[in-house]
Amino acid sequence: MKHCIRVLFLSRLHVFGLIKYAERMVSSNKLGWFECCWANNSSIRHHFLESFFIFVMVEQRKHNSMKRIVSLFLLSLLPFLAIAQEESFQVNNDALIWRKVYEKGTDVETIAQNLRALGSFKDINVSEGMVTAEMSGVSLDYKSLGYKRMSLPIYVVNNKYSAFVTVQVREGRYRVTAERIKTLNSSYGESDMESFALKNGELDRKFLDAPAKILSFTFDKLFSDLDKTNDDDDW
C-alpha cells in the first residue's frame, strides 16, 4: 500500500513538473525546442506516459479535473506528432524504402523537369505514368529541425545520400518511392542504409528517434513540389 501511494505521489509530481516546464517553453517561444527534445528522448516519453495514466486514474473522480486531463492527453500526443514522418519508412524484403503520396495533380513531364532542375538527379527516364531517376550527393538538412551536429550520428551529419527514385502519377496525386538508399562517407566509403536503420529485419528504434525524421524531412523537401510549373506570369 505504501508503495502504491509513493508511485501515485511521484507520478503526479512528474506530470505537474512537465506541465509547468511546457508552459515556460510556450511563454518564451521555445516550444519547437521542447518538442524536439521530447521527440528525441524515448525514456522521458515512456516515463511520462506511465505517470500520465496513473495520474488520470486518480484525478478522474474529481469534478474539476477534466480540463487538466484533456491538456495532459494533448501533451502526451507530442511524441507521436513529432515522429509522424516515421510512417513514410517501410521494410520490404529486408530492404528500407521511403514512400509518400502527395495529393497534387501533375504530369510526368513536369515531374521530370523539376527533378532535372534540382541538380541531384541523373538518368531520368519518363514512361507512361511513371518517372525514375538516380539521386546522389544529397546532404541531410538537420539544422532546419533544430538539431545540433554533435548530438547526431556521424552518418547523418557527414555523409551524402543516394537512392533510386520512382515517381508514379495518377489523377490528382503522385507517389514517390526512394529505395536502395545508400550513404557515402569520404573516409569509409559507401554503405547500405539498412546497416543503420534496421535491426533483426525491423526498423531500429535508434534510427527512428532522430535520423529517420531528418532523412524524411530532407526527402520531403526534395519531392513535395514536383508539381510546380515554370510559368513566368509574374511580371
Give the burial class of 192: count Cβ atoms within 10 A of its Cβ; 0-12 exposed, 13-18 middle, 19 or more buried: middle
Q: What angle, rounded to 10 degrees, do the helices at 2-27 and 66-76 form?
A: 70
Average pLDDT over residues 186-209: 89
Confidence of residue 32 (pLDDT cuts 50, 70, 90): very low
Name the most confidently modeled range: 49-63, 72-86, 99-113, 176-190. Answer: 99-113
> Alpha helices of the chain — where are they, by DSSP H?
2-27, 31-39, 42-59, 66-76, 78-82, 108-118, 154-157, 194-197, 205-209, 211-223
- 223 versus 75: the higher-pLDDT residue is 223
Question: What is the set of domains in the chain, with CATH numbers?
Answer: 2-82 (no CATH), 85-223 (3.30.530.80)
The CA-based angle 131-135-137, given to 5 degrees, is 160
pLDDT score of 183 more than 70 = yes
pLDDT for res 188: 80
Q: Which three cell numbers stand for residue 175?
A: 507517389
Q: Which three cell numbers stand for residue 65?
A: 479535473
pLDDT for res 187: 79
Distance set, CA 68 to CA 19, 22, 60, 62, 208 (Å): 10, 14, 10, 11, 30
pLDDT tens track for 47-77 = 455 555 445 455 555 555 555 555 555 455 4
The mean pLDDT value of the chain amounts to: 75
